[in-house]
Amino acid sequence: MEIIQTILATIVTLGILVTIHEWGHFWVARRCGVDVLRFSVGFGKSLWLHKGKDGTEYSISAIPLGGYVKMLDEREGTVPEHLKSRAFNNKPVIQRIAIVAAGPLVNLIFAVFAYWMMFVVGVSAVVPVIGSVETGSIAAKAGMPVGAEIVEVDGYPVRSWDEVNLRFASHIGESKQLFVSVISSATASPKVYTMALDNWNVDIEKESPLSAMGIRPYRPEVKPVLGQIVANGAADQAGLQVGDVIQKINDTRIDNWMALVDIIQQSPDQLLEVTIERNATVMVLRVTPERKVLEDGAVQGVIGAGVKAPEWPEHMLRNIQYGPIEAVGAAFNKTVHMVGLTLDSIWKMIEGVISVKNLSGPITIAKVAGASAASGFEPFVSFLAYLSISLGVLNLLPIPVLDGGHLLYYSIELITGRPVSEKIQVIGFKLGMFLLLSLMTLAIVNDFMRL
């Protein structure tokens, strides 16, 4: 069932983003008087084909990893004399630039719309209160106080851990003094702490920028209460039920969930006496954790049980919401920030500051699409916006084969008054294709390594 949900979420996600991207090219091409022969969502064999009254074939194709708009063009076939004025290659260069740029720009506009919709509906967020600070970390050296709320990072207001994390992420690889403002119960006004960054490097695969700073968010106490039981697992066979409160294992008192996890993981194939409270009745059950072998060869015990999610104090949750007009500015600013962060990450990857292991391919996209769809409206729309920004920015990069490569050629033509020679375009196409295929291969390899 989970696999089906992931596949459906991926198809919907890519279908939406590809459709709006190609619609951008299509809409501007039609406004510029170019005949569009086919509008296809996906590649390969057509699963559904319809020819509209406008003469365009509309297709949904078998491979949902992209799409295309095929326009009348003398470079791709013979064009009758009476239709040459409607061919793409015969349009003024400024119109060709507009047609090519429309796809990525519509992706960015869609991101603004998605964020606008989120802000109007309201975004649920956890107040960024510091739960603990790791000894010897950047945050510890700065003297960051436990229990304080982070309200500003380097001059930018923040209201959630997501915003804090993104602001920290924009400084990866830098050497500077980062100013973080916090409010605590001991101070009526914000106090500024200085974090000293020295070629600050973060392994994104293993930790977040927040944890790399040495900051652990506040979390409510996780009590040893069962919230999930896996069918036919050790816990189920022992008679444990959802709602059971674990009091003791053997003679060890259990005060929190992690204490329970530690004992179980250290006890594969060992019979444990578990004292529980169920409906005000105390009883003792016997469970034997099953043996699980980890990737590194280590062995740990598991019983097939999950924790009951703790309840957050009301003052630790906030709803970030704007009116329809105010949300426009907030959505635009959010999109601009994410575009800047994407470009910055690409540049730092070229510099070697950020590892190329962070490149993601279709498998990771599918996993995140499925997870975000399962999490609800807000995470899914947020992922759509982020992926739309990535698609728009990457397509605007000046790499032949991509929209940005065509824009580079047409910009040169606009400046010099003559088109780039076909020989140079062919060389650029080969180099661009090699680079694109190399990046795609690397991204797919990274995906499998993550699996």
DSSP E strands: which ranges in 201-260?
Answer: 215-217, 226-229, 245-249, 252-253
For residue 57 the two structure tokens come to: 């074939």
Q: Which two tokens stand for residue 31?
A: 């406004």
User: Which pLDDT score is estimated for 189?
Assistant: 84
Angle (deg, nearest 10), helices 377-396 and 324-351: 50
User: What is the CA angle 351-393-417, rounded to 5?
Assistant: 95
Q: What is the structure's pLDDT at 408? A: 92
3-class DSSP state of 296: coil
Tokens of 100: 């090519």
* 79 CB neighbour count, 10 Å cutoff: 19
Catalytic one of 2, 22, 74, 351: 22
Q: Which of 33, 35, 42 is nearest to 71 (CA)?
A: 35
| pLDDT over 70 percentage in the chain | 90
Lowest mean pLDDT among 21-25, 208-212, 352-356, 396-400: 352-356
Rounded CA-CA distance 73/31 in Å is 16
Would you state the pLDDT for residue 446? Answer: 61
Tokens in use for 169? 């992420």
- Tell me the pLDDT tens digit for each residue of 130-155: 999 999 999 999 999 998 999 999 98
Contacts 24+ apart (CB under 8 A), 15-20: 15/41, 15/64, 16/384, 17/107, 17/110, 17/384, 17/387, 17/388, 17/391, 18/42, 18/64, 18/66, 18/67, 19/67, 20/106, 20/107, 20/110, 20/388
Neighbours of 70 (CB within 10 A): 16
Q: Mean per-residue pLDDT for 435-439?
A: 77
CA–centroid distance for 3 within its chain: 19
Output DSSP code: residue 315.
G
Determine the angle formed by the axes of helices 161-169 and 324-351, rounding to 10 degrees.
40
The pair of structure tokens assigned to 33 is: 């008087």
Q: Cα-atom radius of gyration of the chain, to the nearest Å?
A: 27
Q: What is the pLDDT of residue 422?
A: 82
pLDDT of 366 reads 54
Predicted pLDDT at 444: 67
Q: What is the pTM of this model?
A: 0.80
pLDDT at 109 exceeding the cut of 90? yes
pLDDT band at 64 (very low <50, low <70, confident <90, very high): confident
pLDDT band of residue 302 (cuts 50, 70, 90) is very high
Is residue 314 annotated as part of the catalytic site, yes or no? no
- Measured CA to CA, the distance from residue 293 to residue 295 in angstroms comes to 7
**Hey, what domains does the chain have and what are their CATH numbers?**
92-122+323-451 (no CATH), 124-220+311-320 (2.30.42.10), 226-307 (2.30.42.10)
Contact 100, 24 (CB under 8 A): no
Residue 404 has pLDDT above 70, yes or no: yes
SS3 420: coil
Q: State pLDDT tens for residues 257-284.
A: 888 899 999 999 999 999 999 998 999 9
Give CA–CA dist 17/384, Å, rounded. 8
